[in-house]
Amino acid sequence: MGLVCVEGVVRREGRAVRVRFLVDSGATYTVLSEPIWKELGPEPKVETEFLLADGTAIRRRVSESLLEQPGYGERHTPVVLREPGDGNLLGAVTLEVFGLVLDPSRMELRPMRTLTV
């Protein structure tokens, strides 16, 4: 197993920034680093407490952005606005919005099988 990174484009109000994301299917939300969200200017909608893997609780602002995943189109997704030093993550909610899953054996994203119930 290794790290899986993908390229994407984050858009807001006519501006666009190409972003390299670490795919983290264990993270709930997609995370934008401070330089990215400051360039695009999304308005924080709420501040939420998050629990890290080591048990530490942190507070971060949450907004939403339009994310383009090449080959899969554009979707609106919630994004956590990170603080200095935090990186870009592509989380589980965004993967589900796009209908994608992480295939760790091939180290790539692929379409999920969907069921109609």
Q: Which of 38, 41, 36, 28 is nearest to 8 (CA)?
A: 36
Overall average pLDDT of the 75-102 stretch: 92
Q: What is the DSSP letter of 44?
A: P
CA distance from start to end of the chain: 33
Q: Which residue ranges make up each domain of the chain?
A: 5-105
Chain segment 96-115, per-residue pLDDT in tens? 999 999 998 888 899 988 76
Contact 42, 51 (CB under 8 A): no
> Cα–Cα distance between 88 and 91 in angstroms, integer?
10
Report pTM: 0.86
Overall average pLDDT of the 3-22 stretch: 93
pLDDT of residue 1 exceeding 60, the answer is no
- At 62, the pLDDT band (50, 70, 90 cuts) reads very high
Q: Phi, psi at residue 93, to the nearest 5°?
A: -60, -45
Percent of the chain topping pLDDT 90: 62
Return the CATH superfamily for domain 5-105: Acid Proteases (2.40.70.10)
pLDDT of residue 65 exceeding 80, the answer is yes
